[in-house]
């Protein structure tokens, strides 16, 4: 019962904190002293650190994070602020280069701009006519908050630039951070320096921001009118001439071996530096090459973050629970005695899958070494078998789904000729409770319908109350019931109503992604939406089940088609799509209508010189052309490289399809 008492005391403090935050931040009319307010925050954080069952979305720890604030006006970034892919070892770096070579279709010598990855929060500064025009937080990468006045208090940020070569309009990006020694003075109020920087940046009153000494180091540009720079390092030099602080440890390195040497050296001195850093960023120095490589859906192909090695700790496994994911995957999770790993309290560690448990012979009661690296979920590295109890037994992985009791399978992969390491529940519909809940969480997630204020916890809560059982139920919520629930009120219900209403307008690509078909991620959903163009075509298709047509799409293969067939073999999934299509307003796929290749279709065969298939495809599509994977009589062009498929060339000749080389395509595009 002690637990209940602690919880009650904690929730009372949270309520107080909510009330005083509102008075302090929103109304700027505090009724208690700053010191008392700080003590309240500190008390809550101390309680959370001591008892890991205490959690609240209103905790000062959470609010300081990146929750979009209602206090600031929103701003759509002209160029999205994406994140970076991570590398942890030489293997990852080699893979990174390999992907680049594949994309470019040739091996080249790469020069990197190497920059310390400061663990702060990024900010974007737009200058117009040499004056700071607007300052914005990263937000969700697409939309940030306007925090110009707060940013203006930071001494590293120039308000006006004198140099004559400063661009007419430029958006400069960099990291806001707090120095370690400054954090020492305020550490009781924040979980780490990063949280302190982010909290300070988002104060309503710029005078509050001023109190915490923030720093800014510039490292890149977003939008830049008439870019005249050729190299990242050239841009960094110029930044410093213009009066921005850049990192004195930036460097140019050309080989993976040298990158690793520098990484090792830097890792050993990281603790002596005055700021927190979690790795190094490697960016291809040549900006034109960066342009060619472009981006995947959330990270550039031309840069990578090489993280420092993770922290470890030993602890004991108390239990192994099996989680069921959206696609039916059964993931074993070790519940462990809580340990502090690098400042974060860890009480769960993933065991990945059945094979991993067998390979490492992981058992309940074992003492294990756990690793935590960046934002990656902590995992078990090894078992200390010398500490194993003699009576311990091998862990028996369930063969029935723990959520719905259905049979589980390990699929056979016809390419690798091996059975999957992951065991899955075979239920494709909404009869498996855990899968159903995860599918709804996916439906409302950021990349899908992005319903603000409708988080994972809300899904679980509404599910338990029988308010939602399928995605379409979200649009028929009984708000009169919700308003009386704990934690809900008139304003929050109204906000929820609005965000649900706003989410109804959705692109075809996002819609296809949102219904959660295995193997149909954002990129594949895009390929499908480009191909079928409009939702009515999609519905026709799922009713007739003629998914083999998609083999025409370059990028979609047997795996995706099999998965689509499986998914739509379940009638409830067809119903979901048809019902949602009448509730939502699904925008047809928009294409650049006016490009020079409008109405023209292309098939690519053979190895193109100096450009990959993906790049050629994106070049054609950028100019309004279409790419197909096979030759038919309506095809306009067959783009031919080295060693083409003979059959495609013969068919093209037979149908009178024009056969062109890459140079001819380039001529066509000027
Ligand atoms: S470049 C798309 N350069 O790392 C390019 N980012 O994981 C991304 N960061 O949000 C930005 N130091 O907050 C870049 N020298 C550096 C950086 C850096 C730290 C942070 C930044 C970004 C995150 C990406």
User: Helix, strand or coil for residue 18?
Assistant: helix
Atom of ligand 1 nearest to the CA of 295: 2
Pocket test for ligand 1, best of 81, 122, 140 (most atoms within 8 A of CB): 122
Residue nearest to atom 18 of ligand 1 (CA): 117
* Number of Cβ within a 10 Å radius of residue 534: 14
Residue 68 predicted with pLDDT over 70: no
Sheet holding 637-640, edge to edge: 626-628, 601-605, 637-640, 658-660
Residue 244 predicted with pLDDT over 80: yes
Report the distance separating Cα 389 and Cα 317, nearest Å. Answer: 12
Atom of ligand 1 nearest to the CA of 247: 15
Per domain, the residue ranges of the chain are 2-70, 74-307, 311-426, 433-503, 507-587, 601-668
Architecture category of domain 74-307 in CATH = 2-Layer Sandwich (3.30)
How much is the average pLDDT of 566-589? Answer: 94
Residue nearest to atom 8 of ligand 1 (CA): 83
Least-confidence region, from 87-96, 185-194, 457-466, 661-670: 185-194
Residue nearest to atom 12 of ligand 1 (CA): 117
Tokens 């470019």 identify what position?
104
Atom of ligand 1 nearest to the CA of 173: 11
Q: Which residues of 241-276 are buried (b: 16+ CB within 10 A; e: fewer)?
A: ebbbbbbeebbebeebeebeebbeebbeeeeeeebb
CATH 1.10.3470.10 fits 507-587, yes or no: no
Q: In sequence order, which residues have a C-beta less than 8 Å from that of residue 45 and are 6 or more positions away?
A: 59, 60, 61, 188, 189, 190, 191
The two three-digit tokens of residue 266, written as one number = 């830097």
pTM for this entry = 0.55
Pocket test for ligand 1, best of 175, 215, 218, 279 (most atoms within 8 A of CB): 175
Atom of ligand 1 nearest to the CA of 84: 7
pLDDT at 30: 57
User: Annotated catalytic sites, by residue?
Assistant: 117
SS3 content of the chain, % helix, strand, coil (to 5): 40, 25, 40
pLDDT digits (tens, 9 = 90+) for 140-162: 888 999 999 999 999 999 999 99
Cα 547 to the center of its chain, rounded Å: 29
Angle between helices 90-104 and 256-269 in degrees, nearest 10: 140
pLDDT digits (tens, 9 = 90+) for 207-225: 877 778 899 999 999 999 8
Q: Ligand 1 pocket by C-beta < 6 Å: which residues?
A: 82-84, 115, 117-118, 122, 175, 219-220, 281, 300, 303, 305
Report the distance separating Cα 373 and Cα 87, nearest Å. Answer: 11
pLDDT at 619: 86
Report the distance separating Cα 17 and Cα 229, nearest Å. Answer: 49
Nearest to 144 by CA among 153, 157, 134: 134
CA 437 – ligand 1 centroid, Å: 34
Say which CATH topology domain 311-426 has.
OB fold (Dihydrolipoamide Acetyltransferase, E2P) (2.40.50)
Cα 72 to the center of its chain, rounded Å: 23
Pocket test for ligand 1, best of 171, 201, 220 (most atoms within 8 A of CB): 220
Tokens 């025009």 identify what position?
133
Dihedral of alpha carbons 341, 347, 352, 358, sign: positive
pLDDT digits (tens, 9 = 90+) for 615-661: 888 889 889 898 888 899 999 999 999 999 999 999 999 999 999 99
Cα 650 to the center of its chain, rounded Å: 44
pLDDT at 62: 58
Architecture category of domain 601-668 in CATH = 3-Layer(aba) Sandwich (3.40)
SS (H, E, C) 452-467: CCCCHHHHHHHHHCCC
Q: What's domain 2-70's superfamily in CATH? A: Helix hairpin bin (1.10.287.610)
Architecture category of domain 433-503 in CATH = Orthogonal Bundle (1.10)
Question: Between the CA of residue 156 and those of 92, 153, 216, 240, 247, what are the distances in Å?
Answer: 35, 9, 6, 11, 12
- The average confidence (pLDDT) of the chain is 89
DSSP 135-194: EEE-TTSSEEEB-HHHHHT-TTS-SB---TTS-SEEEEEEEEEE-HHHHHHHTTT-SSHH
pLDDT digits (tens, 9 = 90+) for 489-528: 999 999 999 999 999 999 999 999 999 999 999 889 988 9
Report the distance separating Cα 580 and Cα 513, nearest Å. Answer: 13
Q: Which helix (H) or strand (E) holds 101?
A: helix 90-104
Atom of ligand 1 nearest to the CA of 115: 15
Find out whether 421 and 355 touch, Cβ atoms under 8 Å: yes
Residue nearest to atom 3 of ligand 1 (CA): 219
Q: Which helix (H) or strand (E) holds 126?
A: strand 121-128
What's the pLDDT band for 21 if we cut at 50, 70, 90? confident
Report the distance separating Cα 631 and Cα 635, nearest Å. Answer: 6
Domains 2-70 and 507-587 are alike in CATH topology: no
CA 519 – ligand 1 centroid, Å: 29
Percent of the chain with pLDDT over 90: 62
DSSP code, position 94: H
- Please give the residue that has the higher pLDDT: either 358 or 53: 358
Nearest to 550 by CA among 539, 562, 568: 562
Find out whether 616 and 648 touch, Cβ atoms under 8 Å: no
Residue nearest to atom 21 of ligand 1 (CA): 122
Residue 69 predicted with pLDDT over 60: no
Residue 28 predicted with pLDDT over 50: no
């Amino acid at each position: 019962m002690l637990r209940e008492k602690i919880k009650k005391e904690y929730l009372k403090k949270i309520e107080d904190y909510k009330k005083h935050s509102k008075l302090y931040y929103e109304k700027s009319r505090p009724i208690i002293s700053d010191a008392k307010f700080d003590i309240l925050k500190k008390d809550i954080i101390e309680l959370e650190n001591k008892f890991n069952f205490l959690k609240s979305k209103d905790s000062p720890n959470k609010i300081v994070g990146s929750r979009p604030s209602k206090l600031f006006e929103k701003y759509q970034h002209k160029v999205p602020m994406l994140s970076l892919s991570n590398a942890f070892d030489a293997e990852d770096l080699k893979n990174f280069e390999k992907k680049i070579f594949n994309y470019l279709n040739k091996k080249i010598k790469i020069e990197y701009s190497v920059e310390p990855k400061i663990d702060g929060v990024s900010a974007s500064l737009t200058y117009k006519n040499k004056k700071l025009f607007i300052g914005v937080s990263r937000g969700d990468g697409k939309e940030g908050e306007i925090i110009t006045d707060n940013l203006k208090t930071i001494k590293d940020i120039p308000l006006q630039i004198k140099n004559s070569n400063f661009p007419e309009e430029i958006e400069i990006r960099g990291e806001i951070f707090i120095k370690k020694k400054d954090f020492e003075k305020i550490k009781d109020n924040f979980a780490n320096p990063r949280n302190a920087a982010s909290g300070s940046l988002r104060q309503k009153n710029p005078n509050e921001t001023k109190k915490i000494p923030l720093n800014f180091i510039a490292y890149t540009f977003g939008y830049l009118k008439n870019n005249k720079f050729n190299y990242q390092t050239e841009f960094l030099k110029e930044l410093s001439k213009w009066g921005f602080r850049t990192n004195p440890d930036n460097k140019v390195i050309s080989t993976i071996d040298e990158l690793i040497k520098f990484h090792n050296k830097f890792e050993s001195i990281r603790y002596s530096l005055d700021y927190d850093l979690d790795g190094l960023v490697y960016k291809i120095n040549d900006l034109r090459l960066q342009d060619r490589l472009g981006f995947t859906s959330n990270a550039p192909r031309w840069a990578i973050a090489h993280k420092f090695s993770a922290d470890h700790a030993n602890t004991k496994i108390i239990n192994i629970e099996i989680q069921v994911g959206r696609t039916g995957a059964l993931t074993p999770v070790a519940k462990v005695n809580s340990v502090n790993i690098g400042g974060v309290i860890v009480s769960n560690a993933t065991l990945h899958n059945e094979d991993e448990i067998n390979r490492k012979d992981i058992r309940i009661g074992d003492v294990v070494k756990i690793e935590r690296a960046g934002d990656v979920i902590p995992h078990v590295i090894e078992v200390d078998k010398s500490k194993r109890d003699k009576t311990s037994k091998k862990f028996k992985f369930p063969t029935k789904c723990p959520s719905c009791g259905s049979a589980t399978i390990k699929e056979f992969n016809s390419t690798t000729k091996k059975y999957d390491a992951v065991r899955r529940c075979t239920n494709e519909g909404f009869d498996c409770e855990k899968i159903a809940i995860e599918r709804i969480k996916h439906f409302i997630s950021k990349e899908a319908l992005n319903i603000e204020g409708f988080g994972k916890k809300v899904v679980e809560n509404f599910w338990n109350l029988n308010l939602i059982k399928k995605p379409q139920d979200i649009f028929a919520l009984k708000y009169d019931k919700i308003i009386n629930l704990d934690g809900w009120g008139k304003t929050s219900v109204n906000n929820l109503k609005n965000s649900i209403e706003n989410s109804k307008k959705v692109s075809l690509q996002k819609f296809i992604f949102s219904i959660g078909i295995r193997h149909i991620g954002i990129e594949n959903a895009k390929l499908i939406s480009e191909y079928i163009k409009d939702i009515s075509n999609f519905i026709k298709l799922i009713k007739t089940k003629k998914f083999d047509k998609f083999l025409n799409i370059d990028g979609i293969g047997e795996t995706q088609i099999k998965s689509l067939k499986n998914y739509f073999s379940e009638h409830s999934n067809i119903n979901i799509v048809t019902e949602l299509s009448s509730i939502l307003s699904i925008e047809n796929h928009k294409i650049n209508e006016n490009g020079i290749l409008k109405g023209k279709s292309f098939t690519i065969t053979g190895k193109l010189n100096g450009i990959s298939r993906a790049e050629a495809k994106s070049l054609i599509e950028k100019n309004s052309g279409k790419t197909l994977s096979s030759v038919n009589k309506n095809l306009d062009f067959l783009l031919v490289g080295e060693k083409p498929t003979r059959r495609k060339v013969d068919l093209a000749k037979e149908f009178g399809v024009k056969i062109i080389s890459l140079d001819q395509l380039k001529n066509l595009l000027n």
